[in-house]
Structure 1
Amino acid sequence: MSVQERKERERAERERLIVATARELAEQQGWDAVTTRRLAERIEYSQPVLYSHFRGKREIIGAVALQGAAELAAAVRAATAAADGPRARVYALARAYLDFAERNPAVYDAIFQLDGGLAYAQEDTPEALKDAFASLLEPLGGVAGDSVAPELFTEVFWACLHGVATLTRTGRLLPEDTDRRVQMLVDRLAVY
């Protein structure tokens, strides 16, 4: 291995460490606790080293969002692949999405609530975000019905899931009714 390859590998490892530490700190204490100073202390590197990887917290949030989007897509695809039939796939998609949001609140916020400097629904949208949307579109496109574009249907269904996730987490919806909400969403919106 050349010196250059070793340096690139070490740089990538430092970057992974920064993102993992930011994510861990955010999940434990919230995004307000994630500062470049605290990250530098936790990873035992100087702030200038941290800034050599990310220009600041916004870019770190963006990196966590991209990682989280990939994980969300994988969770949705695994859940829908295990389901039998269109209705079961849509229900599994909804449950996987809501479970991800509940288990990873800081990551969910990085993807959908915070400014990570990422473009959404544009030509320069990062591939991880496009793929997360595609993971929703794949099972939902077939149940959109003939009168609506599959992408638009997916956006509306996703918006409903986002609302349930956010309102449940903030205590505005009772968590014990989540399954009933999901069932209603599946029954009323999806066409089989």
Structure 2
Amino acid sequence: MSAISERRERERAHRHQLIITAARELAEAEGWEAVTTRRLAERVEYSQPVLYSHFHGKDAIVSAVALDGFSELAAHLRRARQAAPELGQSLRAVCRAYLEFATERPALYQAMFILPTDLKFASTETPPPLRASFDEFVSCFRPDNERRELFAEVLWSALHGIAVLSESGRIPLQGQEERLDFLITRIAGTSSPAPGHAS
């Protein structure tokens, strides 16, 4: 590749990331309804045709934002897991980190899990950042647990439900620790169930 081609590639990658960042900032400030190609073109000071040369419409932009989000989520969960290396502690730390991530970045979380995207989950085409995020949950279960991927999937599903219901005000934010206790006890079996309850 020539020096000119390399420079053009760098410039294109820079523009691409600039559009993703602008979309994310606009969504966090005003919600995803405010993210239009016209608004983004104004914000990044490129023409709409230049924007379309990078992304074929809003869904493609949302997918790119979501992919960025999964890279961040994987790193966030990894830090939490590594800071609490014991299995029971690491699971709680990862669960808590996941709920923090969803609460602190609501528009990003929407792009990742609620809005339409072309990202493939649980398939051979799953992008590495998605798999890396899921693997942080899997790593919290004992390696000799043959069903640890199932455990991780059910746990993630429950956390997603808690995140969405909390964000929409359908369940109160207080009580998160009790919910985590219940999940970790029932799914992971890493602590004793409450007295009077069958395990």
State how far apart, in whole Å, the 1-side matches of 2:28 and 2:180 are. 25
Deviation of residue 191 (structure 1)? Answer: 2.5
Task: Tell me the TM-score normalised to structure 1 length.
Answer: 0.94
- 1:171 equivalenced with 2:169 (yes/no): yes
> Residue 197 of structure 2 aligns with which residue?
none
Q: Equivalent residue for 1:47?
A: 48
Quote the offset at 1:2 in angstroms: 1.1
1:180 to 172, 178, 181: 178
Alignment of 1:46-85 (within 5 A): 46-85=47-86
Identity among equivalent positions (%) equals 48
The normalised TM-score by structure 2 is 0.91
Which residue of structure 2 aligns with residue 153 of structure 1? Answer: 151
Structure 1 unaligned spans of 5+: none
State the match for 2:15 in structure 1.
14
Q: Which runs of 4+ in 1 moved over 3 A?
A: none
Q: Which string of whole-angstrom CA distances, capped at 9 and with x for unpartnered residues, describes residues 24-62 of structure 1?
A: 011111111110000000000000000001111111111
RMSD: 1.5
- Counterpart of 1:24 in structure 2 is 25
Aligned length: 189
Q: Deviations over 1:68-112 (max 9, x none)?
A: 001101111100100141111011011000000001111111111
Structure with the higher fraction of residues in helix conformation: 1
Structure 2 residue aligned with 1:120 = 121
Amino acid at match of 1:172: R
Q: Distance in 2 between matches of 1:70 and 1:136?
A: 15
Instruction: Give SS of 1:175's match.
Output: coil
